[in-house]
Amino acid sequence: MQKTPKNTKRYMLVDGNALVHRAFHAIPNLTTKSGEPTNAVYGFTVILLKAMKDINPTHIALTFDLAGPTFRHEKYDEYKATRVKAADELYQQIPICKEVVRALGINIFEKAGFEADDALGTLVEKIKEENKGADFEVLIVTGDLDTLQLVDGNIKVYTLRKGLTDIMIYDRAAVRQRYGIEPEQMVDFKAIKGDPSDNIKGIKGIGEKGALDLIKEYGSIEGIYKNLDKLKERTRKMFEEQKDQLKLSRELSKIVLDVPLDYNLPQYHFSQIDYSKVVELFQRLEFKSLIQKLPKVEGAREITPEQAQKIEAKENSKYILVNTPDAVEKLGNELSSQKEFAFDTETTGLGAIDHDLVGISLSWEKGKAYYVPAAMLKTSEAAKLKQALQNPQIKKTAHNIKYDYLALKRFGILVSGAYFDTMIASYLLSPGSRSHDLDTLAFSEFGYQMQPIEELIGKGKQQITMDRVAAEKISFYACEDADYTWRLREVLAPRLQQEGLEKIFFDIEMPLAIVLAHMEENGILLDTDLFTKLEKQADKDLKLLEERIYKQAGQEFNINSPAQLKVILFEKLQLPVMAAGMYVKKTKTGFSTAASELEKMRDMHPIIAEILDYRELAKLQSTYISALPKLLSKDGRLHTSFNQTIAATGRLSSSNPNLQNIPVADSGVASEIRKGFVADKGYKLLSVDYSQIELRVVAHLSGDKNMIEIFNSEQDIHTATAMQLYGEKDPKKITKEMRRDAKTINFGVLYGVSSFGLSERVDMSRGEAADFIKKYYGVFAGVKKYLEKVIEQTREKGYVENELGRRRYIPEINSSQFQIRSAAERAAINMPVQSLAADIIKIAMNRIAGEIDIQSGDIKLLLQVHDELVFEVRENKVAEYAKKIKQMMQDAYNLEVPLLAEAKAGQNWTDMEAV
């Protein structure tokens, strides 16, 4: 929007209730670490701050509904009676939305017996009266179109079309363009057509188009009644017979313009924000990202809150640049006498493998830190400092210690005594949190805004690397990192103890961080020649698929465009929208062409199979075949990053690139991709994989006698399950299809599969799937009882934990919304199983690394893919290491059933044989 001319008053009037409801439904479930729902508050705040920025108001006010009946209910007791009560989670966020409004220095107008729209209408009238002859503009910010009846020359409506950012501003011309009538005619239009959401009946039998046509023709309800004789007989009868109902509908539709409000113009002059109050509130709500969106207000202090905070930090802290040999030597002596310290590294990029050290910061006292440029670490005077970093008796704290460990190792300093990682501690305490980065934690724990790295290196095309920034500029930024890492350790360590998480933290996660660092450093070799061949073959195959698809379609089109594909399938080829007894899903833009929907249509036309094949190959091409060779490091190997702090269950994930998601296939291009991961000359890849670990964990946790017996007698779990479900005593009579169905439900149970979910995965109706599940729980009654107990305990506690004490907070399990509650129940069922399986392989990895040098010339640990470990082993040592590793993995944890690991080896990740 344009800037407000100096003498023009611009009023921003906000319909608070409309925005809260819009935000609640636009943003998926969102909670703070403590489980407080914040999706509506967050969305409401986003809309409010955007509107403030767009409108740049001189005056601002919000209106809200108050609980209880209004004058409309007194006129018509069925008013809004058909409206489904909103979720409790929405209502409990309204007071917090009001807190946000008040912290922003905005006044709220509300009146018992009236709605927010009535308060808005009254404010509009008062503004008009007070500004006669003066320049002014009013923008009504809302999530619906009820206030269009208020639009006038100076009055506009700023509303949301889609989501939280797609804005439409209605002035008189825009209303006319959309509806073909004037704003003042909107009341009569709504009265005639009715409003089902408010249970306003209107004239039964006349819809939106008919109502618009009548208003355009006769101008108003009054005009229609004056011309009843000109109406068609059926329409005339409607108006004659429903006159009283229409009168009531108009009274209910009309916004009141004289609500008795405690109105005072200066009351909502917008000039000052209590930044400290806003920061404190945003800290509690964990809205760090929104601090940057706060408007800068005329008349407010000239420096931003972040700048004021930096000035205060510089005055109250001792951040020291160590840039002389003597100062480095002095620091080394002091560091050597500490029992513990925090450190952080600055490098030339985000990947520790291919980037160089720029400097290191150190802290062991709140508000005090040192920054040492890399050049100083190369001096002889830095010997004591390096010794302190390498001394295992001195405990080291870092935020993402794996990264800092690798950065220093690459520089020639092997850190020992890695003791506390604040990022991992934060994750264990709040595994469902969106972010565990240092900036976010400094804000959420201390309300402190750390210096953005962009202030040093810029952003976008102008961004430079940290080694090109002067040490004097880096020093404050780096010292801040070490200082706040130290402060976080002091806050988070006692919490780990209180929550019973110390054992997982110190015995599993902290040792694992260094194991993962070694794995990342090891990397894995790619057969680049094979990938070049695959790329050529994929290009050729895609071209052939394209030609076949165009031939089937009878024309060329963009296969990757859902819009163009819809036209081909549903208009040109006129394929039916019901397949396999199920309708193809419909979206706002037409029938869906998602893979799941196309699968339903596979047998309808040959083009469907070709499109699915094309999409699959195109995805393999872009994600793996073309992409992976470009990600090779200078040593010719692929170095992924293993993430300890993402998956809420404790599972590891992999990124840049994701090597846990490499396709597994018996044939075709997908199988060739795995073949491209190879061992170096003289070595073989060794894969050791837990067999059905999650089902073994289910048997252990549930104590189900039937399932325990199957595993203890070394039967195939899926065949044995199929035998019991299908009533067969001879395993030879179990077909592949029967075993597949049993396998599907065995693993489906881990995720709380429903009859609908099972029917989608196997060839069954929903009723048959429900019977299948019922029979399954009859066979494994102990499993059913265990799952019910997990859900019940999670409801009571608000969290679920695994056998080792790892927790996941799931407050959504008590949601009043069925879909959210059901998803939470599935998460609760899955967590104890998946997380214990994840912890078991982590324990195994730590033990292996403790007994075998996983970076030696004989063996390197390269990858963890959930239940599988991949090593690179000297050819003549494969059998020896396979036996050792297999035994260590099987002995990692005591279950009620045997843990079974299987080893296989080969030159590549596809062609492997049992060892």
- 546-584: pLDDT as tens digits: 999 999 999 999 999 999 999 999 889 888 776 545 566
Q: Identify whether the C-beta of residue 687 lies closer than 8 Å to the C-beta of residue 903.
A: yes
Q: What is the pLDDT of residues 689-713, one digit of tens each?
A: 999 999 999 999 999 999 999 999 9
469 vs 224, 356, 475, 518, 762, CA distance in Å? 75, 14, 10, 30, 59
What is the pLDDT confidence band of residue 458, given thresholds at 50, 70 and 90?
A: very high
Report which listed range, 99-103, 294-298, 329-333, 585-589, is most confident: 329-333
694-836 belongs to CATH 1.10.150.20: yes
Average confidence (pLDDT) over 211-236: 94
DSSP state of 399: S
What confidence tens digit (pLDDT) does each residue in 735-756 have? 999 999 999 999 988 888 888 8
Whether omega for the bond prior to residue 657 falls within 30 degrees of 0, making it cis, is yes
d(CA 214, CA 202) in angstroms, rounded, equals 13
Q: Please check the confidence at residue 270 and state whether its pLDDT lies above 80.
A: no
CA–CA separation, 672 and 746 (whole Å): 30
Determine the average pLDDT of the residues in 509-531.
Answer: 97
pLDDT in tens, 354-384: 889 999 999 999 999 999 999 999 999 999 9
Model pLDDT, residue 105: 87
300 falls in which pLDDT band (50, 70, 90)? very low
Buried b (16+ CB within 10 A) or exposed e, 744-778: bbbbbbbebbbbebbbbebebeeeebbebbeebbe
Q: H helices of 499-527, where?
A: 502-503, 510-522
**Percentage of the residues of the chain whose pLDDT score is greater than 70:** 94
The DSSP output letter for 433 is -
φ/ψ bin of 833: left (φ > 0), alpha (ψ from -120 to 50), beta (otherwise): alpha
Is a pLDDT exceeding 50 seen at residue 784? yes
- Tens of pLDDT along 36-89? 899 999 999 999 999 999 998 989 999 999 988 999 999 998 998 888 888 888
Q: Specify the pLDDT at position 303.
A: 42
Q: Which pLDDT band holds residue 391 (cuts at 50, 70, 90)?
A: very high
Q: What share of the chain is helix, strand, coil (3-state, %, to 5)?
A: 55, 15, 30
671 or 398, which is more confident? 398
Burial code (b: 16+ CB inside 10 Å, e: under 16) for 508-531 equals bbbbbbbbbbbbbbbbbbbbeebb
Superfamily of domain 9-176+256-268 in the CATH hierarchy: 5'-nuclease (3.40.50.1010)
| pLDDT tens digit sequence for 614-649 | 999 999 999 999 999 999 998 999 999 999 999 999
Specify the higher pLDDT residue, 523 or 766.
523
Q: What is the pLDDT of residue 171?
A: 95
| Mean pLDDT value across residues 877-891 | 98
Q: Which residue has the higher pLDDT, 497 or 576?
A: 497
Structure tokens at 387: 């010794």
Strands (E), 107-177: 107-109, 136-142, 155-162, 166-170
Half-sphere exposure of 268 (CA within 13 A, CB side): 24
Q: Please, which residues bridge with residue 368 across strands?
A: 318, 365
DSSP strand pairing (107-109 vs 59-63): parallel
Q: Do domains 310-523 and 526-638 have the same CATH topology?
A: no
Give the pLDDT of residue 302: 40
pLDDT on residue 197: 87
Lowest mean pLDDT among 30-39, 187-196, 649-658: 30-39
Question: What residue segments make up the domains of the chain, in order of their start?
Answer: 9-176+256-268, 310-523, 526-638, 694-836
pLDDT of residue 298: 47
pTM of the model: 0.84
Q: What proportion of the chain, given as a percentage, has pLDDT over 90?
A: 75
CA distances 692 to 737, 834, 845, Å, are: 19, 12, 18
Round to whole Å and give the CA distance between 635 and 627.
Answer: 17
Please check whether residue 614 is in contact with residue 527, taking contact to mean a CB–CB distance below 8 angstroms. Answer: no
pLDDT at 299 (0 to 100): 41
Q: Name the CATH architecture for the domain at 310-523.
A: 2-Layer Sandwich (3.30)
CA-based angle 351:354:360, to the nearest 5?
65
Provide mean pLDDT across the span 20-31: 89
**How high is the pLDDT of residue 31?**
87
pLDDT at 589: 67
What is the assigned CATH class of domain 526-638? Answer: mainly alpha
Average per-residue pLDDT for the chain: 91
The CA distance from 269 to 57, in Å, is: 9
The predicted pLDDT at position 132 comes to: 85
Which of 121-125, 389-393, 394-398, 597-601 bottoms out in mean pLDDT, i.e. has the lowest? Answer: 597-601
More confidently predicted of 600 and 868? 868
pLDDT (0 to 100) of residue 592? 82
Q: How confident is the model at residue 658 (pLDDT cuts 50, 70, 90)?
A: very high
- Residue range 145-163: mean pLDDT, rounded: 92
* HSE-up of residue 543 (Cα within 13 Å, Cβ side): 6
Q: Are strands 9-15 and 136-142 parallel, antiparallel or unpaired?
A: parallel
